[in-house]
Structure 1
Amino acid sequence: MKSFLAKISLFIIIGVYVTSCNSIKYVKEDELLLTKNELTVNGEVSSDPDALSQMYQKPNSRLLNFPLRLHIYNLAEKNSDSTYQAWLDRNPKRRQRLNNALSKKQVRELGNYKTGFNKWLQKTGEAPVIIDQKKTKKTTNRLKVYYQNKGYFNANADFEVIPSEKERRASIQYRVDTGNPYFLDSIQVAIKSPDLDSIYNLYKDASFLKQGKQYNTGDFYDERERLTVLFRNSGIYNFQLNSIKPTVGIDSTGNDYKLPVLLKINNLNERKGDSIVETEYKVHRIKEVNIYTDYTFANSRSKFIDSVQYDDFTIYSNDKLRFRPKAITDAVFMHAGDIYRDNDRTLTYKHINNLRTFKYPNIQYEYANDSLTDLIANIYLQPRKKFSLGFDIDITHSNIQDYGFSFSTSLISRNVFRGAETLEIAARGTLGASRDVADSEDQFFNIAEIGVDFRLNFPRFFFPFNTDKIIPKYMLPTTVLSLGTSNQQNIGLDRQTFTGFIRYNWQPTKKNTFNLELFNLQFIRNLNTSNYFNVYTSSYDRLNSVAQSSNYIDNDESLNIASGQTDQFIEDVISNNFEVTPSELSTVLSVNQRKFRLTQDNLIAASKINFLHNSKENIADNTFFQFRTELELAGNFLSAIAGVANLEKDSRGKYELFGVPFTQYIKTEFDYIKHWELSRKEDVLAFRTFFGIAIPYGNSENIPFARSYFGGGSNDNRAWAAYQLGPGRSASLLDFNEANLKLTTNLEYRFDLFGSFKGALFADAGNIWNVFDDIEDEDQKFNGFDSLRDIALGTGFGLRYDFSFFVLRFDIGFKTYDPAYPIGNRWFNDYNFGNAVYNIGINYPF
């Protein structure tokens, strides 16, 4: 309690010190601190972010309406070195005493430290924004031009500096009177080239310039860009943007506010010698496509030894051709006889890079002989090395692993079957620390994993029949065959995993991606089942309590795990060798059922399809959404052949394969993420909602632990630790709480603090439940809409540091609404720093 009060006192002292700093400390008597910009358009306050962005001066940034960075800046001293020297000399004996106690060098270094700290405060903080009349006038002119570009040619703008009641502070009110807007009238088009004219008329309905539309300068830029892309993808190889010359007539009367438009597209002007020659634009066609498979600068002048004619491609090599022609030509989208298209060149670049066999290709065009319209496409490829060796070291973090270091090495062999295939052999290892693992010695690194994977990648669909008509090659179809094994120690019960899958990937559009795992086989073998009660201590406590209350052992004794007394007690109760009450019997049966489920080996043979849509245009796009959905079916094929193959059954009547009951279930997930960029580019509002359900049937009564859902953790509900939320209102009685239905919603406001530091406020809501399985506890089950009142709510704040290539995240979550408490008493029970959950994460949670 004393420690908690000390922390609160420290926060209060720091807060009082910062807020006590004078905002106008460095504002001179004849200066004014800018506190607010206001824009009124035609007498009404405007919040148009584009218009507000025209202002040259903006008030100091605020955090929760407090100018934090300004106050940090004001903490710094100007001329700190001279003030330090003056302080030393203010008392004649001070300098000598410090020199005797320390040394002259250390006293000098103290001054350097003070200077460096002041520079850090100035760099981290934000200097006061002083109203500048010149910049204010420039803003006024800029606003006028902004509205003129929107069609308000008669717009006028002025400003007024409004002094504040507080000393040396003022706001600026910008006023814009737009006047009446102008509209486009007739649209006339004058195109000199007949080929361009024909292409334009085919697609003129897509024009940004429409009669009756309000004038907008941006529409003219968009139309020029549209036409340039159109022409260069319709055979006009040498088209130039500056050939498009739109002009707008002036309404001399000033009465009808209509503007006639003339869109001129001139011929190509080229410099030849000392003169400019005008050339009519013509549609160009590809006459030949040549591919040079092992081109380097050193052999650029040598004669190619080998050449192959494949379809309409000529493939050259300086040595014996090492690639099957089709493997290369499938990545080329230009063909003899086709018209020239920029898109074909772009697709070819993209697909050749996707082969992972060549360095970045070089595609050049040249005219055939003396032709003015026939092109020869030359594609120069430089193969990567046949073999490459890689080594990586990563710092990792997950919901159940606090810290981890992973090491991996991989060998890549390219062009394995002469079809640009790649074979990857990777070995990996991990050392980690987790607070959730039972470890009597409490070692820091108490998690270890080693594994090896073999992965064969095909730059096409590896399938018995041709799939080009279903999945065309422009969709980047690829196939991955993978086999792997791993061995984990001190994660739960220790386990060995064998995996194998066949995955097909394709991308119909830039924003849409599909993944189909036609067959995914996973075998999970638990290696240390005798350690169950050491790991799942809550199960042990429940069992031990029954053993004491039933007088199986004395109250001052405990069941001995090492000697097998726990298992013997369960066996005695179930076989009626020891009598207990019905309530105690129910507890023992529940513990035994969970122990059986978590210690049994799992055989999962599944098929899965995944769809992802991501509307993000580029890395700087902060307004986008992402939608992912997945459907997984497991055990159906094995169930269908179980009777025909005469598979044996276990004691529960479940079919077994290789002595392990196979799992059967259907699982589906929906994940939606939306980001909004707010008025400042540093501020983002992020939203996520997730729904997932896995339903066992047929050969299974529950979902394997590896396929189940859990609540809590640094990427989920951050007010609860991983596996410590739910199921339902059951108060998280177990060590690792999981279920087969999950519903989660997250909302996070991210904002800039100073420098590379970012802040966040968040609210996380959700829970997990059991449904359609063998769990009978009503507190854990989902029973329709009534169960939605058991959705937990966590709120909190976070601090992040952006390293550019990753973000280090620290979040504090508080239990705001806890369904573990009785209804009517669920709000703010543990809402304090003592019961908060402190999360460390890498990158953003969603």
Structure 2
Amino acid sequence: MKKNSTKILAFILIAILICACNAVKRVPDGKSLLIKNNILVNGKSTNDETASNQMYQKPNGTLLGYKLRLNLYNLANLNPDSTYQAKFKNNPGLYERQSKLLSAKQVDRLGQSFLYKGIHEFLKNTGEAPVIIDTSKTKKTLLRLKFYYFNNGYFNVKTAYNIDSIGRKKAKINYNITTGPAYLLDSVRTSILTPALDSLYKTNKETSLIKSGNQFKTSDFEEEKNRITTYFRNHGAYYFQPTYVSYDIDTIGKKNKADVNLIISNNTIQEKDSSRTEPFKLYKISDVNIYTDYSAANSKGQIKDSTTYNNFNLYSYKKLKYKPRAITDAIFITKGSVFSDTRTTLSSRYLNNLKIFNYPSIQYEVDKRDSTAQSLIANVFLTPRKKYSFGATLDLTHSNIQDFGIGASISQTIRNVFNRAETLEISARVNIGSSKDMANPNNNFFNVSEYGLDMKLNFPRILLPFGTEKIIPKRMIPSTSISSGFSKQRNIGLDKENFTGGLAYNWSPKRFNTAKFELLNAQFVRNLNPDNYFNVYTSSYNELNDIANVYNTDPTNLDENGDLIITKGTTNFTNQVLNGQTSLTPSNPDYKEVESIEERRVRLTENDFILATSYTFTKTTKKDLADNTFYQFKTKIETAGTLLSAISNIASLPKNTNGNYEIFNLEYSEYIKTEFDYIKHWDFGKEKVLAVRSFFGIAIPFGNSDYIPFSRSYYSGGSNDNRAWQPYSLGPGSTNASNDFNEANMKIALSGEFRFKIFGDLKGAIFADAGNIWNVLDNVTDEKAKFDNLNDLAEIALGTGFGFRYDLSFFVIRLDTGFKTYNPAHEKGDRWFKEYNFGHMVVNFGINYPF
């Protein structure tokens, strides 16, 4: 195998070398292939990304330093039709012979086949033509660079270029930039013709980007224009635009300094064939008119219903279907307030967030009733969405439980349920799938199934018996959601019924911040088939069975093959060990192993009731999907069972034989849980991005519990975690994933990924994932699984690998290959690169980026 691998690698290297030597295959004589653009500023090379973006010509793209696309292009026959015809021209009689064997029509079609033409079209389209140095484009680039440095304050910049040959038909271009000293801003004064705007400017002058002592930068002047415009338009200057701001730059008699005069002219009013100027006016809102059922069809019709509420005028072309406050609470434009773009934007966002209207239109007109012409009427046009909307989906799924699944769902949305802009969403789903990990005595392909029903009612306000406007003002777009759900799984592990319900409040403290407070989050998990435990968790059964082969003395526990019978034999043998009816003693490691297996079985087969309260805060600087320079921070704190314990204590309710409180004859869970998640992206230009993610989470049981429910615990591994391990197959600690579904109550994870473009929409990535899970402050006794001190950080696993991403615009298809680089399951000194080979690699398929 090693010999074959060496031969294959040698063949690939030779092929690359041959192609690389042929990189100038399509470069005409007397021309040169562009290898590099070198920008020299005052004699020193610069990596200024913005300067590099001024180039009209850039070298052919590379993949890890290799010009893959160029060489693919060079492999193509650019004129396959001519080549095909030449074959017959150079071989008289060949066409006739092939026509007799096939037919003339088929021979002609053969020339259009993939073998003769399609493959060359593919190579040409996938590849990239050689970038041949064009001196006219070089001169245009030089002019761009001159303007770039001039706009950054280097008014005396000088530019030149030279082309250096670096091999046969290969060359690089040196752009030589001599900047001279940068010009600094000296005196800054203003000439604002409108007195009202002059007063406004002086109240906000300190935030100006144009200040004495700053280096001259054209971008600062443009940003200052936008800052002034935003400020004026938020303080009543309805007709103000950036074009009214100009600058007079004076460098006469100055040495590397420039005086700046900021000029803001008066308003220009066009009147037929002439124009005039007058000072800008600051407008106030005299009326707010809301048209609740506007459409192009009824825009010329008569208003049939109207009302006035809190100085808002509501109109309807039919019967008014909304409680006035439901709409007026979403509008920040108020009668008597100063015109403001920000209020307009907030109103549009809030109205859109109601999800009962299409995107709203807000228009202003001068109120002719005002003799001073300084009043505006705000007209809000709302087009309702359909009250009822139906949706259906069909999906192919893959998860840590299912190898393959088919899912279908239907949903019904009902808008404006109680005439106060509420939205009710009802959905049903069903899924059937196949899993090789599940117990499957009948060997059916579709051996797992799940169905469920969910309901969610959204209110565009905070539902509480007291006012919250001072704490959470409406500009934060608050909402309340009440949800409930039911799902049932069959042939998935122990088979489960899952009942959920919740009451949550959502709001946005700032533009890119969100907060969520779940006052109540209730979950009841009922295991329908707990006796199936050892059929599902086979590793636990095998460990228990191996111990029974040595210590079991009761023949009724075994089948004809001498193995423990599920469930009778496993239960009896475990009880006999723990009750001292075998030769095993508590000091024996096998006794502790049986104790650990039983603890896990009880924990995973018990029904769970969780009543939790949580708060989640998210902050991000990401502006849109194309933003590759941002960070995101998310933190969550959750507590469960505390309210129930407080009630039980106050009411002096009795405890059960285990010393715990019960509700509905079931011990409820009690714990506190906190999580921190941080993501950071750096954009290095040319579609190169470095992404980093760090995560820490811990859940500590107390009071009524000494362990964390399975549904609230952590696992490691998988396509969005440590990609060198399968889901649930890493940890806890150094236990070597001894169980089938390994989980714990503390997790540390750190991932880094460098993304780059290969060609077209195909992207590549190299990554490193570190992390693990541990048990801490719970009832797990296995020392290898516990986190006792900082020395256990040596059990953090490391996986590295590479991947490919194909960008379909609306989502990304991802394929990652991970290798176990540092595996804490091995003995110390034998953990590095022990399984670093293709035989132990893990392939992950995912949708979108992992973080």
TM over 0.5, yes or no? Answer: yes
Aligned to 2:627: 621
Deviation (angstroms), 1:367 = 1.4
Q: Using the alignment, how far apart are the partners of 1:99 and 1:487 within structure 2? A: 66
- Residues 759-785 of structure 1: CA distance to partner in whole angstroms, max 9, x if unpaired? 110111111111111111111111221
Aligned to 1:299: 298
Find the residue that maps to 2:784 and give its secondary structure.
coil
Query: Superposed, which structure 2 residues align to 1:676-715 within 5 Å?
Result: 676-680=682-686, 682-715=687-720
- Residues 661-696 of structure 1: CA distance to partner in whole angstroms, max 9, x if unpaired? 10011110101101111131x211110111011111
Deviation (angstroms), 1:792 = 0.6
Aligned to 1:111: 111
Is 1:157 paired with 2:159? yes
Aligned to 1:217: 218
Deviation (angstroms), 1:62 = 1.3
Contact kept? 2:548, 2:564, Cα under 8 Å? no
Aligned to 1:640: 646
Deviation (angstroms), 1:402 = 3.9
Deviation (angstroms), 1:14 = 4.8
Aligned to 2:849: 844
Query: Superposed, which structure 2 residues align to 1:538-687 within 5 Å?
Result: 538-550=539-551, 552=553, 557-559=561-563, 561-562=565-566, 564-580=568-584, 582-645=588-651, 647=653, 649-680=655-686, 682-687=687-692
Aligned to 1:729: 734
Moved more, 204-213 or 454-463: 204-213
Deviation (angstroms), 1:588 = 2.1
Aligned to 2:354: 355
Aligned to 2:337: 338
Deviation (angstroms), 1:436 = 3.4
Contact kept? 1:484, 1:498, Cα under 8 Å? yes
Moved more, 334-343 or 71-80: 71-80
Counterpart amino acid of residue 290 in structure 2:
I
Aligned to 2:26: 26
Q: Using the alignment, how far apart are the partners of 1:650 and 1:98 within structure 2? A: 92
- Residues 589-625 of structure 1: CA distance to partner in whole angstroms, max 9, x if unpaired? 2221111111011100100100101101222211111
Q: Using the alignment, how far apart are the partners of 2:742 and 2:639 within structure 1? A: 24
Is 1:758 paired with 2:757? no
Q: Using the alignment, how far apart are the partners of 1:98 and 1:546 within structure 2? A: 76
Aligned to 2:804: 799
Contact kept? 1:399, 1:715, Cα under 8 Å? no
Query: Superposed, which structure 2 residues align to 1:765-804 within 5 Å?
Result: 765-804=770-809
Counterpart amino acid of residue 612 in structure 2:
A
Q: 1:93 to 1:837 in 2, by over 3 A?
A: farther
Aligned to 2:307: 308
Deviation (angstroms), 1:444 = 4.4
TM-score (norm 2): 0.95
Contact kept? 2:552, 2:582, Cα under 8 Å? no
Counterpart amino acid of residue 331 in structure 2:
V
**Unaligned 5+ runs, structure 1:** none
- Residues 176-218 of structure 1: CA distance to partner in whole angstroms, max 9, x if unpaired? 0001111112222111111111111111111111112111111
Q: 1:578 to 1:185 in 2, by over 3 A?
A: closer
Q: Using the alignment, how far apart are the partners of 1:5 and 1:557 within structure 2? A: 45
Q: Using the alignment, how far apart are the partners of 2:7 and 2:501 within structure 1? A: 57
Q: Using the alignment, how far apart are the partners of 2:433 and 2:9 within structure 1? A: 33
Counterpart amino acid of residue 122 in structure 2:
W
Q: Using the alignment, how far apart are the partners of 2:33 and 2:631 within structure 1? A: 39
Counterpart amino acid of residue 628 in structure 1:
K
- Residues 462-485 of structure 1: CA distance to partner in whole angstroms, max 9, x if unpaired? 111110110000000000000111
Counterpart amino acid of residue 591 in structure 2:
L
Contact kept? 1:727, 1:769, Cα under 8 Å? yes
Q: 1:170 to 1:443 in 2, by over 3 A?
A: farther
Q: Using the alignment, how far apart are the partners of 2:838 and 2:101 within structure 1? A: 42
Contact kept? 1:544, 1:558, Cα under 8 Å? no
Find the residue that maps to 1:779 and give its secondary structure.
helix
Aligned to 1:323: 322
Aligned to 1:147: 149
Contact kept? 2:26, 2:74, Cα under 8 Å? yes
Contact kept? 1:479, 1:505, Cα under 8 Å? yes
Aligned to 2:277: 278
Find the residue that maps to 1:20 and give its secondary structure.
helix
TM-score (norm 1): 0.96
Deviation (angstroms), 1:653 = 2.4
Deviation (angstroms), 1:551 = 5.0
Aligned to 2:57: 57
Q: Using the alignment, how far apart are the partners of 2:711 and 2:662 within structure 1? A: 19
**Unaligned 5+ runs, structure 2:** none
Q: Using the alignment, how far apart are the partners of 2:95 and 2:369 within structure 1? A: 88
Query: Superposed, which structure 2 residues align to 1:120-519 within 5 Å?
Result: 120-164=122-166, 166-251=167-252, 253=253, 256-369=255-368, 371=370, 372-440=373-441, 443-519=444-520
Percent of aligned pairs with the same amino acid: 49
Q: Using the alignment, how far apart are the partners of 2:524 and 2:47 within structure 1? A: 59
Q: 1:446 to 1:20 in 2, by over 3 A?
A: farther
Contact kept? 2:151, 2:218, Cα under 8 Å? yes
Moved more, 366-375 or 597-606: 366-375
Contact kept? 2:596, 2:782, Cα under 8 Å? no
Q: 1:651 to 1:300 in 2, by over 3 A?
A: same
Moved more, 833-842 or 407-416: 407-416
Contact kept? 2:719, 2:844, Cα under 8 Å? yes
Deviation (angstroms), 1:140 = 1.1
- Residues 390-447 of structure 1: CA distance to partner in whole angstroms, max 9, x if unpaired? 1123344444444433322111111111111111111112233444333345544433
Contact kept? 2:715, 2:728, Cα under 8 Å? yes
Moved more, 291-300 or 690-699: 291-300
RMSD of aligned Cα (Å):
2.0
Counterpart amino acid of residue 226 in structure 1:
R
Deviation (angstroms), 1:561 = 4.2
Aligned to 1:719: 724
Deviation (angstroms), 1:11 = 6.2
Deviation (angstroms), 1:516 = 0.6
Aligned to 1:69: 69
Q: Using the alignment, how far apart are the partners of 2:728 and 2:660 within structure 1? A: 29
Deviation (angstroms), 1:321 = 2.0
Q: Using the alignment, how far apart are the partners of 1:558 and 1:195 within structure 2? A: 96
- Residues 619-648 of structure 1: CA distance to partner in whole angstroms, max 9, x if unpaired? 221111111000000110111122444555
